[in-house]
Amino acid sequence: MRVLVVEDETRLAENIADGLREGPGFAVDIARDGEDALHFCSAADYDLIVLDLMIPRLSGAEVVRQLRAARNRTPVLVLTAVSETGNTIHLLNAGADDYMTKPFDLGELIARARALIRRGKGVSEPLLRFGDLEVHTGEQSVSHGGRKIELSPIEYRILEYLMFRPRLVISKRELLEHLYDFTWEHHSNVIEAHVSNLRKKLRAATEAEVLETLRGRGYRLVGRA
């Protein structure tokens, strides 16, 4: 999953980004002000935006207003100082999805981020199922029929993304955009290699073809695993 952190305090922004990268393994971009945030959102498709309320150039409230006016439905988690909480009702009514007051616990922020991403994809539980194949997004574990399947971090992230959209064709470009940030040099053969390894592991565990490649179109989960 890919997250945009909008925060002008450099140390706080890096701490949040590091926590989201090291914990859930999200790809994270950082914007330092409101105008940059809108530019990032026009250039990439995010699964979550973590947005400070008081940022330069455009306020967090204005960023939310413009995103929703442009029909961007990406979940937004607002960060606000205690003295600013009176504005949160207006923000929630304007389209923000949740808020946290500073200082906050990073573990709680990660938990809320995961929940908002699931909600944004229409999933209420941390356990994703496709037949007998199960992905626990909190534990970042994969099993089939109760037997654990060992995956690399990137293989897990690919499978998790596909599990949120079972049987839908997911293009190579979409995977690249959701699994890597702007610092990554996009090479399509990287995705191809990881998908190939993931397919072999799923085939060995399930004794069936679970992950299908559609040439020139992308990938999808098939069958009942």
Residue pLDDT, tens place only, 82-97? 666 667 777 788 889 9
Is the confidence at residue 225, as pLDDT, over 60?
A: no
Phi and psi at residue 142, to the nearest 5°: -130, 135
pLDDT at 189: 75
Contact 37, 49 (CB under 8 A): yes
Contact 164, 128 (CB under 8 A): yes
Contact 54, 63 (CB under 8 A): no
Condensed to tens digits (0 to 9), the pLDDT of residues 121-180 reads 988 889 999 999 999 998 899 999 889 999 999 999 999 999 998 889 999 989 988 888
Is the confidence at residue 2, as pLDDT, over 70?
A: yes
Is the confidence at residue 183, as pLDDT, over 80?
A: no
Q: Domains, the chain, ranges and CATH?
A: 2-120 (3.40.50.2300), 127-221 (1.10.10.10)
Place of tokens 């990554």: 184
Q: Are strands 98-102 and 211-214 parallel, antiparallel or unpaired?
A: unpaired
Residue 92 parent element (H or E): helix 88-94
More confident residue, 92 or 100: 100
Both tokens of 4, joined, read: 């945009």
Contact 64, 95 (CB under 8 A): yes
Both tokens of 115, joined, read: 């929940």
Condensed to tens digits (0 to 9), the pLDDT of residues 64-80 reads 999 999 999 999 999 98
